[in-house]
Amino acid sequence: MYDIPTLRDVYRARRQIRPYLNPSPLRHSIGLSELLGAEVWVKHDGMLPTSAFKVRGGVNLVSQLSPSERQAGLICASTGNHGQSIAYAGRLFGVPVIVGAPAGANPLKVAAMRALGADVLLQGRDFDDARENVERLAQQHGYRYVHSGNEPLLIAGVGTHTLEIVEELPDVDVVIVPIGGGSGAAGACIVAKSVDPRIQVIGVQSSAAPAAHLSWQAGEPRTAPMQTFAEGLATRTSFALPQQILRHHLDDFLLVSDDALREAIVLMLEHTRSLTEAAGASPLAGALTIRDRLAGKRVALIQSGANITLAGLREALGV
């Protein structure tokens, strides 16, 4: 069992990251409000450094490493955004970073990790292959392994996105967040349910990679095929710490098709003028499936990332 972060931990995380990261914009969208029949705000975490929410957790964790951990160096597995987060924080605090990524990882994210100074190892067909390789290397060489979900400091760090939402929009009714491994949704649950238990937190995952959803439903770990194009949602297994939190606090967990994710990418571009990767568009895709339940409510969509490739954008646009 892991130590579950508390609201106090999220406040501490905000103090840690504030010298390095400004709050991301929370913007009301007239177009999305009309589309959903609700009052819709978008939390633009794609505008943070690394263009993704995970940098919040990376800075929080790396800023608190012990001297021995810094000397050992960090290693993690990632399809891109977690790796960018740790690479960014490693560069900020002078800690060497190795990132294991699948052989077919998003080239935009791979280039960004390398530009931040990380040594990127491309191996395996998917995230879980890369993760298993990284875990072996950590054991062999004594690196400080940074799991993408089972890290209380990461979850507390990413939870600051929802802390910013409830402080700027205290009458928010619903927060909708992507779920891959579940750290972002876990952070959202910790904050929302501590501040006001009436705030609903809803997670969204691709139906082509439903491991976290199946685990949440069953109340125990499940694996599932991973066939989604949305690398931010692409895991074959669930993560223990986020699942502990989600089972107790997540109000609902939606599955959407990859086609719905592509449609949501285009709608985000059309109505918010912001580039959004598939994971970041998943809250909108999920919201569209429960439009009737959201009618008249104040809804915050967490746009978790903007790291979409030109090829991915063209595919979504059908050009």
Give the tens place of pLDDT for each residue, 128-151: 899 999 999 999 999 999 999 999
Measure Cα distances from 166 to 26, 49, 188, 194 in Å: 10, 22, 10, 11
Question: What single DSSP character describes residue 233?
Answer: G
Nearest to 273 by CA among 8, 25, 22: 25
All CATH 3.40.50.1100 domain ranges of the chain, comma separated, are 7-53+153-317, 55-150
Q: What's the CATH code, domain 55-150? A: 3.40.50.1100
Structure tokens, 238: 């669930």
**Is the four-CA dihedral 313, 102, 183, 88 of positive or negative sign?**
negative
Beta bridge partners of 303: 44
Q: Determine the topology of domain 7-53+153-317 in CATH.
A: Rossmann fold (3.40.50)
* pLDDT for the residue 118: 97
* pLDDT for the residue 278: 97
**What distance in Å separates the CA atoms of residue 287 and residue 292, rounded to the nearest whole number?**
9
Please report, to the nearest 10 degrees, the dihedral formed by the alpha carbons of residues 282, 25, 160, 224 taken in order.
10
pTM of the model: 0.96
**What distance in Å separates the CA atoms of residue 70 and residue 93, rounded to the nearest whole number?**
9
Nearest to 254 by CA among 290, 229, 220: 290
pLDDT 10s per residue in the chain (319 long)?
689 999 999 999 999 999 999 999 999 999 999 999 999 999 999 999 999 999 999 999 999 999 999 999 999 999 889 999 999 999 999 999 999 999 999 998 999 999 999 999 999 999 889 999 999 999 999 999 999 999 999 999 999 999 999 999 999 999 999 999 999 999 999 999 999 999 999 999 999 999 999 999 999 999 999 999 999 998 899 999 999 999 999 999 999 999 999 999 999 999 999 999 999 999 999 999 999 999 999 999 999 999 999 999 999 999 8
> Tokens 């649950």 appear where?
189
Strand (E) or helix (H) holding 74: strand 74-77
* pLDDT for the residue 277: 97
* pLDDT for the residue 200: 98
Three-state secondary-structure class, residue 44: strand
* pLDDT for the residue 319: 84
